[in-house]
Structure 1
Amino acid sequence: MTVGEPLAVLTKVTRSVVLPDHGTLQILTGVDLTVYPGDHLSIVGRSGSGKSTLLNILGLLDVPTTGLMTFAGEPVERMGEKRRAQARGSAVGFIFQQFNLLAERTALENVMTPLLYARGRQFWQRERLAAAMLDRVGLGSRLHDRPSKLSGGEQQRVAIARALVRSPQLILADEPTGALDIATGAYVMDLLAEVAAESGAALVTITHDPKVAALAQEHFLLQDGQLEPGLRVAA
């Protein structure tokens, strides 16, 4: 679904890193991508193809080496680190493959963390909102358990609840079903799509699972540092 102005636009974006031997590793060589509110995109590619790098650029964790990017109409090259952090905190929800949960915090406290930077209702009702989101992912009875007491699949669901609790404009999911069984994975993808639809958010998923990729409206293959578009499915 394409609605209104684009949320993120990448034009001939490259990303390279300098190696210890002073050589250069070219990760992205010229990516063009436009993400609109309400889009559901999937990106597939072999390991090491740069999928996570691209996700980090989309989510303002990283910046292009060359090329242009705008986020909500604002040129990223003009954003300082503080401005990017503000935009990322308010508009982007990350679901990391490694979960990145705070080991000494309970499931509830982990999900509440993004709301500590919110304002108004979201800040003052952060505990209730976090508990409600954990309930939606099937962990309503595990609110006060720390990550060490949770299975890998349960930790993944906490990470998903944390990403969704602020109703972000852009949801970025890196292998969101990687630690889940088939039934739970299907439920989680339905939940991601449902929450995205409720708020008009864009959902971008990196996955090796063809069944997960097939759920998207539009599919891309990342290879040789560039995105190759696939089939777009009518919404």
Structure 2
Amino acid sequence: MTAPETVPAAGTDWPPLVSLRQVTRTVRIVDLEELHVLRGIDLDIHPTDSLSIVGRSGSGKSTLLNLLGLLDLPTEGTLSFRGMDVRALGGDARARLRGGAIGFIFQQFNLLPGRTALENVMTPLLYAEGRQFWKREKLASAMLDRVGLGDRMREFPSNLSGGEQQRVAIARALVRTPELILADEPTGALDIETGAIVMELLDEVAAETGAALVTITHDANVAVRARTHYRLDAGVLRPEAAAA
């Protein structure tokens, strides 16, 4: 698998894939008081970027992930994807954009227990069009080969180790060749050694496809793998120097 020819090299001056400007997210709690979850977020994510966002529980990481994944909308500020104002898109348009351009990887693997590894990876392609739909089994098989599970694709999740299940989840997230990969605590359910192997695989495949990779984590060992680092604290996002 090779990166598309149109993907710029890291560090080139291309427009951002995702851009947030003064984004806030506010929710109303039971007594009608407002809870400010995100405060004035500014962030650009370019093709091929690799960045980590760390923060404690309750810092707003999940809320920010939902915004980046087009699962939610800002209360104030602008959020654009490929230069389009996401708030101007209808729900169906956001869902199509999300399904084709964004891949999600979670701490809990969220595999369908009654489906084989191959069937799990094929699931996103059921909503694809054209070649991706008609060649869904071939594409899913090739992606499972790529993550080292070519000989396990007929197994059910219950017969796979934690690391193997996370590889299936990675294959499922990448099978449509997304432009943006959002990894939410991707090693949280794995031991240290297996987690390192999974992150190495994720970094490698993201680089090959030219995707931007955003890893949201509380684990410093995971965060340090990224090229750019941020910390989210009480809803405020700040750049952070890499650990020595």
TM-score range, shorter chain: over 0.9
CA–CA separation in structure 2 for the residues paired with 1:185 and 1:135: 19
Aligned to 2:182: 172
CA–CA separation in structure 2 for the residues paired with 1:17 and 1:146: 40
Q: Could you tell me which of 3, 19, 27 is aligned with 1:9? A: 19
Q: How does 1:23-102 map to 2 (within 5 A)?
A: 23-102=33-112
CA–CA separation in structure 2 for the residues paired with 1:105 and 1:207: 29
SS in 2 for 1:46: coil
Q: Could you tell me which of 185, 199, 214 is aligned with 1:204? A: 214
CA–CA separation in structure 2 for the residues paired with 1:51 and 1:2: 25
Superposition TM-score, scaled by structure 2 size: 0.89
Between the two proteins, what is the percent identity of the paired residues? 66
Bigger shift: residues 126-135 or 41-50: 126-135
Aligned to 1:105: 115
Superposition TM-score, scaled by structure 1 size: 0.92
Contact 2:24 2:76 in 1 (8 A): yes
Amino acid at match of 1:120: G
Amino acid at match of 1:168: P
> 1:173-208 CA deviation, whole Å, 9 max, x = no partner?
001112223333222222222222222210000112
Alignment pair present for 1:131 and 2:165 = no
Amino acid at match of 1:50: G
Amino acid at match of 2:212: A
Contact 1:93 1:164 in 2 (8 A): yes
CA–CA separation in structure 1 for the residues paired with 2:15 and 2:144: 32
Contact 2:58 2:234 in 1 (8 A): no
- Shift in CA distance, 159/225, structure 1 to aligned 2, threshold 3 Å: same
Contact 1:2 1:37 in 2 (8 A): no
The count of aligned residue pairs is: 233
SS in 1 for 2:93: helix
CA–CA separation in structure 2 for the residues paired with 1:68 and 1:92: 19
Displacement after TM superposition at 1:232 (Å): 7.1
Aligned to 2:194: 184
SS in 1 for 2:241: strand
Contact 2:163 2:195 in 1 (8 A): no
Contact 1:167 1:195 in 2 (8 A): no
Bigger shift: residues 2-11 or 177-186: 177-186
The gaps in structure 2 that reach 5 residues or longer are 1-9
